[in-house]
Structure 1
Amino acid sequence: MKHVVVVGASAAGLAAAEKLRREGYAGTLTLIGEELDVPYDRPPLSKQILASEWEAHRLLLRTEEQLAALRLDLRLGVRATGLDRDAQAVELATGERVHYDGLIIATGVRPRVLPGQGAHVLRTVGDALRLRARLGPGRRLVVVGAGFLGAETAAVARGLGCEVTVLEPAPVPLAHAVGEQVGRVLSDAHRDRGVDLRCGVAVAAIAAGGVYLADGELVEADEVLVAIGSLPNTEWLAGSGLELDNGVVCDEHTQAAPGVYAAGDVSRWFNPLFGELMRIEHRTNAAEQAMAAAQNLLNPQVPKPFAPVPYFWSDQYDMKIHAYGYLRGHEAVEIVDGDLRQRRFLAAYRKGDRVVGALSVGMPPKAIRPWRQAIAAGTTWSS
C-alpha cells in the first residue's frame, strides 16, 4: 500500500493517521480537512472555551513538531466533493483528484439548523468564540434544544450572568437516552439556577429579536443558539456506491467497502457487543474507532471487530456526568446507588435481559468503572 488518504482532519482523522504510522505504514499519508485549523479538540468548546477559561490554542491536539513527525501530506481548508471508487480517487473542491490505495472517511457531522437567520451553532472554534463574545451579564440567550450541548451551553451562560431560556420539544429533556427520572433531575438542576426551561414547545423560526414558537409567540433574545442535533457529512459521497443511511454504513470492522473505512461521528457501524448498528458522537469513540479502522485497513486479512463500550461525559454547573454503554432504546432504569434528590446517584440501564448502560451524576469516577466491565461482559440484569 503506497498511498492512504484520510478525509477529515479532526480527532478521528488525526488518530487514524497516528495509528497508521505507529503500525509501520511508511507510504504517502494525505490528511484532508475542510477547516483551516490544524486538528483540535471539540468537547471544550461548550465548556472551557465558552466560559473563557481557555484560549483557543489550548484546544490543539498536537504541536507543529508532532504533526511534522507524522510526515503528512496535510491539506487544510480543502473540501472533499466526491469519491470515485472505480478510480480510487477523492475529488476535491479545487478540482484535484487524490488517488488512494486505502481510504478512511472521518468527515464528522454538521449542526442541524432552523429557518431564519442570525442564530449561532456550536461546532467549530470559530462558532464558540463568536458566541462567547456575545455573552455576559444581563444578556438574553435562548437555547433551542436541551440535549447535552444545549444544557452545557445554558450552564456556562448562567455562570456568565446571562438570562437563559431553553426551548425543548420533548416533555422531558434527554428522556429517550437517559430515562425520564434522570432527565427530570438534570432539568431541575437548570431550573434551580434560574434557567427558564420550557418543555413540549415547538419552534417555528429564528427572528431578528428572538425565536418564534409554533403558536406564534416570540421568545425575545439577544442571542440564539440552535442545538438540535447534527447531520453526518456524507453528501460528498453520493454516487460513490457506499451505503449511506444516517452516516456511512460499515460492518463490524468499520469497513464500508473493500479498502474503504469510516470512523468517528460519520460512521454507522455494526457493534457486535450490542448486536446493532450505531453511530456515536462522542470524543472517546472517535479516537478509538479511528485506530481500529487504521489497524484493519493495514491488516484486511485478519480484521478485528470494533466492539467498544461507548463512553461520554458532561459538565453542567457542579454536576459531573459520566456514562458507559448504549443507553438509547433501554427498557428499564434502576437507581442502584445514591439519591436522585441530592443529584448524586448511579443509574443502571437494561435492554432485554442484559445490562446495556450505566450513568452517574455527582459520583466519583471509580463508582461507575465496574459497570463498564459488566456491560462488556454481557452481564445479565439479575446477576
Structure 2
Amino acid sequence: MTGRLVIVGAGQAGFALAAKLRLLKDDRPITLIGAEDVPPYQRPPLSKKYLLGEMEFDRLTFRQENWYAENQVDLKLSTHVEEIDRAARRVRMQDGSVLGYETLALATGSTPRALPAAIGGDLDGVFVVRDKRDADLLSGEMRAGRRLLIIGGGYIGLEAAAVARHLGVEVTLIEMADRILQRVAAKETADAMRAIHLRHGAVIREKTGLVRLIGEGGKVRGAELSDGSMIEVDFVIVGIGVMPNDRLAQESGLDVGNGVIVDEFGRTSDPSIFAMGDCAMLPWRGRRIRLESVQNAVDQAEAVAAVLAGGGEPYDPKPWFWSDQYDVKLQIAGFNLGYDETLVRPGMREGSLSIWYFREGEFIAVDAINDAKAYVTGKKMLETGIAPDKRLLADTAVDLKQLLS
C-alpha cells in the first residue's frame, strides 16, 4: 500500500489511469475528481450517435457507478480543483476543502476556443461541442429546416456538419484558411471530404471568416462574413480548436508550454506529479507534441499506470485517429507533421482511397477514406518500421499485403 493518488479530471485519461492501476493489482487509495455530474464516459459519440439520438447516455459510461466503490476509487463529481499546493502535497477544492496526495495526476483535458463576446460569442444559440451538457443543449436546436452556421473546417466542424445534414438542418460551414483541414490533413484528403459534404447538401465557404454574429433579443440571428455577405442563422457551432487545460500546472509553477510538459514517463517537472492526455506536452522523435485523441489519452494513461505500479517503459506514442462523417469513415495512422510529399492510392471499391504521407522520403502517416485495408496496412508498417516501396504503393494492381513482406 502506498499513499493516495489524486487524479484531476474524470475523462478518458483519468478513468484509464485508475482502471489500469486496479488491473495491475495496485491497491493504493485513488480519488478521481470530475467537474461534471455524471460518471466518466466516452466523448466521441457525443457529437455523432448520441446527438443523432441513436445511442443512450448510459451506453457511453465506461463503468456502472458501483464499479468505483467496488474498486476503492473515490469518485468525486460536480467539483473541481482550484489550487495545487506542491509543498504541502495537497489540492484545494472549489468549496475550500483540501485533499492530500502522495502522487498527483493531471488529466484535465482541453477546452474549446470560444468566440469573443465582442463579436457575438456570448449570444444565446452559440455552441461548442465538448461534453454531455453541450450535446444536450445542441440537440434541442438540431431540427429539420433550421439554419446552422459552423465556424471552422477542422474535424469537429465537419463532423457536426454531417450530423446536422443527417437531421435535415441547413448547413453553412466557413473556414478562414485556404481550405478545410488545412492544419491537419493534405489537400487530397480535404478535397475528398469536401466533395462528400457538398454531395450531402452542405455549403462550404473557404477563405471566409467571421466578422461578427448579429443578435436580436440576446439570441443569434445572423452573421456578417469577411467577404461582405450577411447570412441568416438560427444557431452556431464554433469549432476553432482547443486549448490545453494547464492553468493549475502553470499557477503551481510546473513547466508548461502548449500544455503541461512531461517526460517520456509522463512525469512533470515535479516528480510527484504526472500529466497525460490532451493537456500534456510529451516528447516524440526529438520534438514536443500534444496529441488530441482518445487513443493517446488511454495509451499514455496506461503507460503512467505501469510506472506508478513499479514498472513501465518510456511511452512511445503510435498515433492513430478516426472521424465518422455520414457513411464515411476516415481512419488515420501516424502523424503527418512536417510532411513534404503525398501519394494517393485509389481503393478497391468506389469512393475509397488512401493518402500516404512522406517526410524526406520516410513514410510517416496514412489517411484512409472508407479503406480499412489501407489503414491496417499503413498502421502495421508504422509499428514495425517497414518502408513501403512507393512504386509498388502507387500500383493498384499490387495487393497491399505484398508491401508488408
What TM-score, normalized by structure 2, do the two folds share? 0.89
Deviation at 1:329, TM superposition (A): 2.4
Whether 1:224 and 2:236 are equivalent positions in the alignment is yes
Q: Which residue of 1 aligns with 2:297?
A: 286
Q: Would you say 1:95 and 2:103 are equivalent positions? A: no
Residue 216 of structure 1, CA deviation: 5.0
Query: Which amino acid letter does the alignment assign opposite residue 212 of structure 1?
Result: E
178, 187, 194: which one aligns with 1:187: 194
AA at the equivalent of 2:280: S
RMSD of Structure 2 on Structure 1 (CA): 1.8
Which residue number corresponds to residue 323 of structure 1? 332
For residues 45 and 211 of structure 1, the distance between their equivalents in structure 2, rounded to whole angstroms, comes to: 26
Q: Is the 8 A contact 2:189 2:367 kept in 1?
A: no
1:124 aligns with 2:131: yes
Q: Distance in 2 between matches of 1:239 and 1:121?
A: 26
Unaligned runs of 5+ residues in structure 2 are 216-220, 391-405
- Kindly state the Cα deviation for residue 310 of structure 1 after the two structures are TM-superposed: 0.9
Give the paired residue count.
377
Deviates most, 328-337 or 133-142: 328-337
Alignment of 1:360-375 (within 5 A): 360-363=368-371, 365-375=372-382
User: Which residue does the alignment assign to 1:234?
Assistant: 246
State which of 154, 159, 169 in structure 1 corresponds to 2:161.
154
Select the residue among 120, 129, 144 that pairs with 1:137: 144
The alignment status of 1:275 with 2:280, answered yes or no, reads no
Structure 1 residue 352: Cα displacement? 2.5
> In 2, distance between residues paired with 1:237 and 1:79?
14
How many Å separate the matches in 1 of 2:184 and 2:338?
7
- What aligned pairs does 1:70-81 form with structure 2 within 5 A after superposition? 70-81=71-82
Q: How far apart are residue 339 of structure 1 and its match?
A: 8.0
Q: Please say if 1:201 is aligned against 2:201.
A: no
Asked if 2 retains the 8 angstrom alpha-carbon contact of 1:355 and 1:378, the reply is: no
Which runs of 5 or more residues in structure 1 are unaligned?
A: none
Amino acid at match of 2:289: M
Q: Is the CA contact (8 Å cut-off) linking 2:35 and 2:80 kept in structure 1?
A: yes
Deviations 1:19-56 (A, max 9, x none): 11122222211101111111011000111011111122
Once the 2 structures are TM-superposed, how far is the Cα of residue 139 of structure 1 from its aligned partner? 0.6
CA distance, structure 2, for counterparts of residue 337 and residue 243 of structure 1: 45
**1:302-321 equivalence runs, <5 A:** 303-321=312-330
Please say if 1:346 is aligned against 2:354.
yes
Partner Cα distance (1:15, 1:179) in 2: 32
Q: Residue in 1 aligned with 2:107?
A: 106
Deviates more, 1:116-125 or 1:215-224: 215-224
2:240 counterpart letter in structure 1: I
TM-score, structure 1 normalization:
0.93
Q: Give the SS at the match of 2:295.
A: helix
Cα distance in 1 for residues equivalent to 2:199 and 2:247? 42
Given the alignment, which residue of 255, 265, 268 partners 2:278?
Answer: 265
The percent of aligned pairs where both chains have the same amino acid is 35
Tell me, in whole angstroms, the C-alpha distance in 2 between the residues paired with 1:233 and 1:333: 34
